Structure 1
Amino acid sequence: MKNIYLLLLLLSLALLSACDELFEYHPNQIILNEDERNLTARNLARLQNQQPGDTLHLLVMGDTQRFYDAASAFVDKANTFPYIDFVIHQGDISDFGMSQEFRWVHDIMKRLKWPYLTVVGNHDLLANGRKVYQQMYGDFNYSFDYGHTRFVFIDTNSLEYNYNGKVPDINWLGRQLLHQEGDNWQQAIAVSHIPPYDNDFDTALERAFHRTLKESERVQLSLHGHIHGFRADFRYDSTLLYLATSTVKQREFTYLKVWEGGYDYKRVAY
């Protein structure tokens, strides 16, 4: 009988060891496989192997949170497009900032034919989400050039920092928009989760954010999520469009075309 109990104990330990990655023993525990780390760098590397055309083709979506069926349906629809340069996830990947939520969404998004890049959302900063996002994706603020356009992804989740006057980082934003002699990019697009007119955005930085984009003379378009609805308006003047894409819960995304000096967008239901 003792041998039977010993055998059962050994089998139980073996199963727990083999399946360790399936369980989060604490909500703040971070369990990631190697291929789930540094996803921003991995997807940027994929972009470097692509040849951008005169017109860029992008899909913009986001606020996946717990809407896994809708996110999966988005991927199915996205994969019907003949060609997309990359997909932008507008943040709120997770709902509660737990690593398993991020993993579930990535398991869906990795089925895309195209690279996808993310900006951090306010829900992604809850609980242990800050560490999860940094380990799984990378920096909250980053920029890259693709063809004629620089894309600037910036954390605008001011409320999650108690409106400390440092988020968004206006100085960092301004530096990314400085065009140097010899640069190949001619224009820039800003990407963030919370639009500057929202209550979760630090009102003390609202005008500075817009002014920084405008005075660069390189930005015509700023992309956002968060409001769970579609909104496109020239909020502050006629030169810069603030374009918010709805949550995937509404089964809608934005198809964006960008060329040097211009852009076009279309709401797509699925």
Structure 2
Amino acid sequence: MKRIEYFLLLGLLSLCITSCDDLFEFHPNQIRLESHERDLTAKSLARLQQQQPGDTLRILVMGDTQRFYDEAVDFVKHANTFENIDFVIHQGDISDFGMTQEHKWVHDIMKDLKWPYLTVVGNHDLLANGSKVYQQMYGPLNYSFTYGHTKFVFVDTNSREYGFNGKVPDISWLTGELYQRENENFSQAIVVSHVPPHDGDFDRNLEEAYHDVLKSSRRVNLSLFGHIHNWQTSTRYNDNIVYHGTTTVKKRGFTYLKVWANGFDIKTIDY
């Protein structure tokens, strides 16, 4: 090869590496996000702050999208036929393998919703490099916000992914969120998680403490979860706290939840 051809080839390779960087994925666990794909939880909460909540909140709850992209697209189309929805909750397992591209594909579908959507982290979202992906794309693994008369507490309950280390879920953090502070004003709280406390992927040593926090706060009547890929509604601990599980989008179902001061109504929707 002539010297001029050699340097021309090097130049073309350099140009491709610098200008075509976004066209190639060099490793499945790399994190490559555009600015509009970052801090999505904060952006959704900012949209919520611009809305005026009514006496009755209307929320759609879905989840476990994993690789069920066609079903997720159909969910968005059906969800957008509803009126006066405040926001949508994704119950976790956004991805199947915790990869960046999976999260991006699902967000590319969910961004077509007419309303803000908020997520709780699922066990599949923590696989591989997933914890970093989730936190960069969405935000904290544990967070809360108050909307109208209700506080919503989103908590990481994926104990198995942490080796049942006794720290997940974070009982101390949860306790602090459910007890009203001086600058907070809410009449009730709804706890949102991926894995429910009665599931084998939840730390058995923390199950009783977790439910006791919800009960002793005297503000929680409803806890939402996903993970089981089926419908499930029960009061499992001989009190009035309802644990409601929403099925996976693979089975083409979601929950239509209405919430008013100290009350709620649950409808399961097939699409």
Residue 8 of structure 1: CA displacement? Answer: 6.6
Is the contact made by 1:151 and 1:190 (CA closer than 8 Å) also made in structure 2?
yes
Cα distance between partner residues in 2 of 1:137 and 1:195? 22
Note the 1:93-132 alignment, pairs <5 A: 93-132=94-133
Cα distance 1:13–1:121, how it changes in 2: closer, same or farther (>3 A)?
Answer: same
Q: Structure 1 unaligned runs (5+)?
A: none
Residue 77 of structure 1: CA displacement? Answer: 0.7
Tell me the SS of whatever aligns to 2:136. Answer: helix
What's the TM-score, normalizing by structure 1? 0.95
Residue 21 of structure 1: CA displacement? Answer: 2.3
Per the alignment, residue 52 of structure 1 pairs with 53
Per the alignment, residue 263 of structure 2 pairs with 262
What's the TM-score, normalizing by structure 2? 0.95
Tell me the SS of whatever aligns to 1:236. Answer: coil
Per the alignment, residue 39 of structure 1 pairs with 40
Tell me the SS of whatever aligns to 2:33. Answer: coil
Residue 184 of structure 1: CA displacement? Answer: 2.0
Cα distance between partner residues in 2 of 1:170 and 1:126? 23
2:181 maps to 1:180:
yes
Residue 15 of structure 1: CA displacement? Answer: 4.6
How many residue pairs were aligned?
Answer: 270
Cα distance between partner residues in 2 of 1:209 and 1:82? 35
Cα distance 1:268–1:8, how it changes in 2: closer, same or farther (>3 A)?
Answer: farther
Per the alignment, residue 206 of structure 1 pairs with 207
Q: Structure 2 unaligned runs (5+)?
A: none
Per the alignment, residue 219 of structure 1 pairs with 220
Note the 1:183-198 alignment, pairs <5 A: 183-198=184-199
Cα distance 1:201–1:10, how it changes in 2: closer, same or farther (>3 A)?
Answer: same
Cα distance between partner residues in 2 of 1:252 and 1:4? 60
Cα distance 1:268–1:31, how it changes in 2: closer, same or farther (>3 A)?
Answer: same
Cα distance between partner residues in 1 of 2:22 and 2:100? 11
Cα distance 1:170–1:80, how it changes in 2: closer, same or farther (>3 A)?
Answer: same
Q: What's the RMSD between the two structures over aligned residues?
A: 1.6
Amino acid paired to 1:266: K
Cα distance 1:110–1:19, how it changes in 2: closer, same or farther (>3 A)?
Answer: farther
Residue 9 of structure 1: CA displacement? Answer: 6.1
Residue 17 of structure 1: CA displacement? Answer: 3.6
Which stretch of the first structure deviates more once superposed, 23-32 or 132-141?
Answer: 23-32
Tell me the SS of whatever aligns to 1:264. Answer: strand
Per the alignment, residue 137 of structure 1 pairs with 138
